[in-house]
Amino acid sequence: MELGTIRYHALAKEGAWVDAPWEDQEVAKVADKVFCFLSDTWIGVKCAPSREEADEWLHRFPDDATPMPYLRQHGWNSLRLHGGIPDDQLEEAVDESYRLVVDGLPVARRPHGWSAVTGEATGQEAQ
């Protein structure tokens, strides 16, 4: 998968915006929280609430998934873009990271109409 494609997918999420907190690194954020680190060769995403659950990616894709430095204990992994992870699974990983990060936001800071049940905006005002 090309970086431009995954970047577009991430930024199409409700309330998503791009930031460049480091000179050579873009990130996709919702509110003020990162949900996807963007690089030419990899993305960094929150794969699960815990390290143990996120390790499933490491077992499925040992050559293309690694725990993210500094964030590994919180369920974050680096996933290689040009490896053996299918494009649809990379997109699903971005979707899951977005959902996990938004679910962790205070209700008032979640995207308009966010539903924790479906993991997406419902078009109704958040409760």
The burial of 127, by beta-carbon neighbours within 10 Å (0-12 exposed, 13-18 middle, 19 or more buried), is given as exposed
pLDDT of residue 126: 36
pLDDT at 123 over 60: no
Note the pLDDT tens digit of each residue in 100-111. 999 999 999 999
**pLDDT tens readout for residues 69-112:** 988 999 999 999 999 999 999 999 999 999 999 999 999 999 98
Neighbours of 52 (CB within 10 A): 9
The pLDDT of residue 114: 75
What mean pLDDT, rounded, does the chain reach? 90
Say which residues have a Cβ less than 8 Å from residue 45's Cβ, sequence separation at least 6.
35, 36, 37, 76, 77, 79, 93, 94, 96, 97
Handedness of CA 77, 97, 26, 22 (dihedral sign): negative
Q: Which domains does the chain have, with CATH numbers?
A: 3-120 (3.90.1150.30)
- 38: pLDDT strictly greater than 70: yes
